A and B are shown apart, each in its own frame.
Chain A
Amino acid sequence: MAKYIGKRIALMLMLLIALTFIVFASLYIAPGDPAQMVAGPSATEEDIARIRSVLGLDKPFLVQYGLYLSRLLHFDLGTSYSTHQPIAKEIAIRLPNTLNLAVASILLSIVVGIPAGIVAALRKDRLTDNVLTTASLAGISIPNFWLGTMLIYLFSVKLRWLPSGGMSAPFWTSQGVRQIVLPAVALSTATIASFTRIGRSSMLEVLQSDYIRTAKSKGLSGWIVIMVHALRNVLIPLVTQFGTSFGSLLGGAIITEQVFVVNGIGTYLINAINTRNYPVVQSTVLIIAAMFILINLGVDILYSVIDPRIRYD
């Protein structure tokens, strides 16, 4: 098992290095002279040349990449064109909000989606199953920005139960919880729906399997057959889905943050794109991609915990 995890971590590190290279190269070939951008419109040729040498922009590409890597190791992501603040600091302020939203959404997806899928499978072709299957189809089809707007209209404007946006309070306070409910529901609906569908089909498949029949032939209670013999097998395809879902949650968060006016890295990224703030765009992409890679490492480890066939490979 240690060998397997070691291999996964080595693979992850290689991916991360490849990622930094792609991000750096795209920054390098992006239009516009960074020195000029930093210096501002009133700077003289001399100022720009000085800044260029200070930033190391006059050095060869690979040397610059090396410098970029060493700055990354010191958590230096460069400076924002618009605010002239360190990007790392700006991201550090915003990332917790995004993570807050993503984690709340993934928890909601697990807690609601998986049980719903299992219940649908156990009640196959009955009313409960039909309701859940139809609801999950709707859930996958509804765009999250539309759902978010509708939720705000209903629960904030009409019923006045929950705030329409913001994420000012920490998540452990009641105000923080109230603030996260609507964006988390809007963001997780599609993931809940896909967990339900995959959970249902996975459960149906597992229930047909020989080892479930064996478990039943032992006369174990139905609860043990489901919880001990079926559930772990059901989780395998769901874990796969978890990795992909987390990626789409991060993507979805970018839009959901806009709808709910959350000061997260999604909003940060959108603003940076609108103002052609390249270092910010690239650093944010780097962070999001790195998170995605980390999650997938987690997924790989989770696999080996669930499935001994992977563990002993």
Chain B
Amino acid sequence: MEKILEVKDLVTTFRIAKREYPVLRGISFDIHRRETVCMVGESGCGKSVTALSIMDLLPVNAHVASGSIVLDGQELTTLSHRARNALRGEKAGMIFQEPMTALNPLLTIGYQLTEGLRYHKRLDSKTARELAVQYLKKVGVANPVERLKQFPFQLSGGLRQRIMIALVMSLQPSLIIADEPTTALDVTIQKQVLALLNALKKDMDAGILFITHDLGVVAEIADRVVVLYSGMKVEEGPVEAIIGAPRHPYTQGLLHAVPNVDAEDFVIQAIPGTLPHVTEEIRGCRFHPRCPYATERCRQETPVEIEFVPGHRVACWNVKESAR
């Protein structure tokens, strides 16, 4: 399969009180065409920052300090902001978490759906509208022609998210980044939107980077999973392996924290402690203060990632020892 996205040793830093702090500490992963990669981890682990680094939409006090991002064979980190702006939408599109606020309240759905088409594909407004209607039909929006005249406040959250999906798809990007697209929706709508994304995956040529903290969603949509912890990739592998046989203590902890309502003794096993703050320097493995298996080595040295079965990588000293 063709590689759409290749992220290598990505370091993104934030300037806080005149000092630079790394929020991403050297992250590498790939996405292939027609593949959905889920990125999971707690809030603040760097999932969204990864997405925004790829999109070049980081806040003003943040920047990519080192590493490389290759999208469709093109190195992005050396390009100017202007050049990267030109690639946005057309090469890489993004679906955001908050459908209630992600659309401009003062512009019609029709305008917002067609402007990208008119801008990037140089379509006249009639053709653009026809295409927009087609895509609205694809994402299951009823009465698409009427919808074009409406404003976002007249539509429900689920409908707005469908419109966001149509908007991103209509530009036919090679990479679609979905940053918790279902988190803000209620559960039934969440199901519908996931089912829609799963259905759309089949007739899209794009690779999808799907960011979530919901492991139920991961099981439903992912081909592969990347687990982040405090700006580091701790584990990566096919979804069956990550859900079925996670190797990193953090991934295991995440899975244990999923409530099992069928079980007799319904207890959520939380991972003790909290995610370290970005400004906090930790010697050795950044997870060791919360890890039940931490050894002296974990406290001293940063773990090196190993691929202990093809496609399944993990960065943990203990795994290395047990696997070999």
A interface residues with partner B (beta carbon < 8 Å): 209-211, 213-222, 224, 228-229, 232-233, 306-309, 312
**Contact A214 B55, beta carbon cutoff 8 Å:** no
**Contact B115 A232, beta carbon cutoff 8 Å:** no
Which B residues are in CB contact (< 8 Å) with A221?
85, 119
**Contact B104 A214, beta carbon cutoff 8 Å:** yes
Cβ < 8 Å to A, chain B residues 145-178: 151, 153-154, 164, 167, 171
**Contact B107 A219, beta carbon cutoff 8 Å:** no
CA distance A224 to B115 in the complex (A): 10
A to B CB contacts below 8 Å, 26 in the list: A209-B101, A210-B96, A210-B98, A213-B57, A213-B102, A214-B96, A214-B103, A214-B104, A217-B55, A217-B93, A218-B88, A218-B89, A218-B171, A219-B85, A219-B86, A219-B89, A219-B119, A219-B120, A220-B119, A222-B85, A224-B115, A228-B107, A228-B115, A232-B106, A308-B106, A308-B153
CA distance A218 to B117 in the complex (A): 10
> Chain A contact residues: over half helix, strand or loop, or mixed?
helix
Give the contact-size bracket for chain B. Answer: 20 to 34
CA distance A228 to B107 in the complex (A): 9
Q: Which of A209, A211, A214, A219 contacts B90 (CB 8 A)?
A: A219
* Seed contacts A213-B102, A219-B88, A221-B119; 20 additional CB < 8 Å A-B pairs: A210-B101, A211-B103, A216-B57, A216-B85, A217-B93, A217-B94, A217-B96, A218-B89, A218-B93, A219-B86, A219-B89, A219-B90, A220-B115, A220-B119, A222-B85, A228-B107, A229-B107, A232-B106, A233-B105, A308-B106
CA distance A96 to B238 in the complex (A): 78
A221-B85, A309-B151, A309-B153 are contacts. A229–B171 as well, Cβ < 8 Å? no
In the complex, B140 has a CB within 8 A of chain A: no
CA distance A233 to B172 in the complex (A): 29
In the complex, B276 has a CB within 8 A of chain A: no
Q: Which of B96, B105, B119, B171 contacts A213 (CB 8 A)?
A: B96
CA distance A211 to B109 in the complex (A): 12
Cβ < 8 Å to A, chain B residues 263-277: none
Which A residues are in CB contact (< 8 Å) with B105?
211, 233, 307-309
In the complex, B116 has a CB within 8 A of chain A: yes
Most buried by A among B94, B104, B116: B104
Which A residues are in CB contact (< 8 Å) with B151?
308-309, 312
Which of chain A's residues has its CB closest to B56's CB? A216
**Contact B94 A215, beta carbon cutoff 8 Å:** no
**Contact B119 A215, beta carbon cutoff 8 Å:** no
Q: How far is the CB of A268 from chain B (nearest CB, A)?
A: 42
Q: How far is the CB of B116 from chain A (nearest CB, A)?
A: 4
Which B residues are in CB contact (< 8 Å) with A215?
104
Q: Which are the 8 A-B pairs with shortest beta-carbon distances?
A: A219-B88, A219-B89, A210-B101, A218-B89, A211-B104, A218-B116, A308-B151, A217-B94
